[in-house]
Structure 1
Amino acid sequence: MTHYLIGLSGIALLASHFAVADSFPPAGNPAGRCPIPAEAAAEDVSKPSNVIGNGTPASCTSDAVVSAVAKGGVITFDCGPEPITITLNRTAKIFNNTGPKIVIDGGGKVSLSGGGNTRILYMNTCDQAQVWTTPHCDNQDHPQLTVQNLTFLDGNAKGQNPDGGGAIWVRGGRFKLINSRFFRNQCDDTGPDVGGAAVRVFSQYQNLPVYVVNSTFGGRKDLANRCANGGGLSSIGVSFSVLNSLFSHNQATGVGANPARSGTPGGGSGGAIYNDGNTFNLQLCGSDLNHNTANEGGGAIFFVSNDRSGTLSLDQSDLSANPSAGFETSGYPGIFFLGQGTPRLTASHLSKGLPTTTMDCLFSWAERTYPTHLSPAGAAALSSAPYYFRHYAGSGSYLGISTDDGHLYYLSASTGPQPFDLGAYAIWRLTAGC
């Protein structure tokens, strides 16, 4: 239907902007429009100090990645013109005396895989094997690690010590994450504290926030990140500022919560994000959390500030269809919150399912905009998993939204027997003003 409809409206520019060279969802929430502060911006990599590869895919090996990360500095890749997946047979580890600034930039073409067996990236200022650089390792301003324009696949931290962080584990210094994607990463299935199938972070310098910008965690059922707690992000006592990002279909798989109920292994909270500790804040702006699940509390977000000083704020963000099988805070579907006051919502929407009123608004806009393809207007909406859709008898067509991947689909005689993928529902909703 892109061929039939998008060309009529100029939306092709939006579709091409978010296109990716592989079959995975793009980085970030396509509807996110929040401004990015200067300290959260991507780093300049025009003068790299270490380049992985010499222009060919064969030169971009696990050993080359591990070696470059150990050397630090500004790291880029030269693996040829096509997208590449590099499978690591051991974890790439940051050495704390190779900064102070360390940047790893995949140029939007590089995926690092743990092969289902290996944690991918590790930084720990308190790990003596990675060099102690100050007498106060839990509160030092370096290394300042930026990971940008990279995809992390099939990282696995099960049974690791320290636990959690299937793709990335960080303690100390500063950390920010930009334009990156996380698919099928995992850590231990159960446990009251273990968390962060994709990313786990501890002890940031002076309690400054970790920025997560324009990044995607999951995005489809088959790409879910899974861990006992925090399918996407997990931390203890660390603030996150999550901007224009997408968390979808991630899972908190533990059972028994924290502290673990008698006879249970514990865990199961924060399908997308798990925050615990004392004084810390979680800010979401321009972000979309949908279809994340928790066996216990907070299908989308689990937030417990033990001294009740921490704050949770959502601005221009949507949470929908994030079931909490155990418990959540009344009036805030998908969230369990214990902190200062109540969660602060600005121009944000929370719902137990995908809001049908918004989907119906989009269908009505499409009928007005493309009456030849969608007639007669005003057809009743129907549901047949995974689609919420309308059937247009006059034009013999269907328009539907899939809850599996959050995309808009069109089906008619001209598209053949399979629905045509029109791209992210969030983009169409933004275009329609719904």
Structure 2
Amino acid sequence: MTGSTGEGGLWRKPSDAIWLAATALVFIGIDAGLFLASGPTTGALGPYAALVLMIGCDLALLLLIRFPNLVAGLLVAGSLAMLASDLFSPGLLLPAEKPTLMTVPTVTPVVLSQLACLVDRRRLLWIAGVLAVLATRPWDPAWNTTPFGLLSTALPVAISLYFEARRQLLRSLRDRAERAEREQHLLAERARAEERRRLAGEMHDVVTHRLSLMVLHAGALGVASGDAAVRCAAEDIRREGAHALDELRDLVGVLRDNAAAEPKPPALSPAGDVADLVAESAAVGITTELSATGDPSVLSPTVARTAYRVVQEALTNVRKHSPGSSVTVSLRYHPGGLDVCVSSTRSGRAPDPALAGSGSGAGLSGLRQRVELVGGVFEAGPLPGGGFRTGAILPAYVPTTEGAAR
């Protein structure tokens, strides 16, 4: 609870002015009735001193929301004046004949109940404690002083604190529920983003690879066949495959733009996969040799998958951009990990424009991210005598759940 209130006016909203003015009028009526019942004061301040003091405290209600500390101070000062008058100068501020010995203004319960929402708790308890002492007069307890004093000071504060604590608890529970809902939504969004990124990676690495093979096979069939119908069908297959690669590139771009995490591809067998890639490359007319030394079992599955993707992307790029070249795939397994190198010679002929332009442009950058994610080093660039080299230095093990289980 804080003492800050609305800026720029006495009330935070128009309804505050209405209920405060109505309450002040009610208590002015009560104080006027008590004045008529008890009679005027007889001191030097005149016969209406008590009534003026009470009405002044009642009208202070209008300032309660904007100046709560000031109103509380006026209430305490008025109570002290009433007590001093009763003890040392009877009849000055209190009538000689009064219905109760309580020496606090009648509007005190309303002020204290509202202060619970306007000032901090420590200050509220101090104000309520001072007013309770002045109202009950514990040094001179009486049946018409102590009960009424506690009812007008301690009880309103206790009730207000209870309802304020209840409001804060409900607000806290509501905020906690909203926060949990937002966190659940963020987790769902993150899961969807991870799935999009995984799909984008797999589509780029697998589907693009297969489609490029299909386009090359169709092109080779169109060149080698002497049947016009076969050549026409092969050209249709090649053209549709190139269109499919373009659409796949756009789809992969959409998936990558909406993703926020690295892919987590399914497990692949490290043994024999690279040999299959080499065989596929050789089947479409690209001379490809594989050189492998060392023990492949030293690699964790995550690192083996990364090596597979490096070779796959490098061979796909050779088929797209360097037809007629020869390729050497070198795998050197050692206790520290794996060195991968895919180097190609100068292109033997011009690349197919449809096939060369079908890429998404994110293959090498995606490979670099994948390699660095497992703690490796990625290199790619042209060779001095022509051709291109793609290589990676990979560790033997990455601390993942899958690797730990292995």
The normalised TM-score by structure 2 is: 0.24
| Larger-gyration structure (1/2) | 2
The normalised TM-score by structure 1 is: 0.23
Structure in which a larger fraction of residues adopt helix: 2
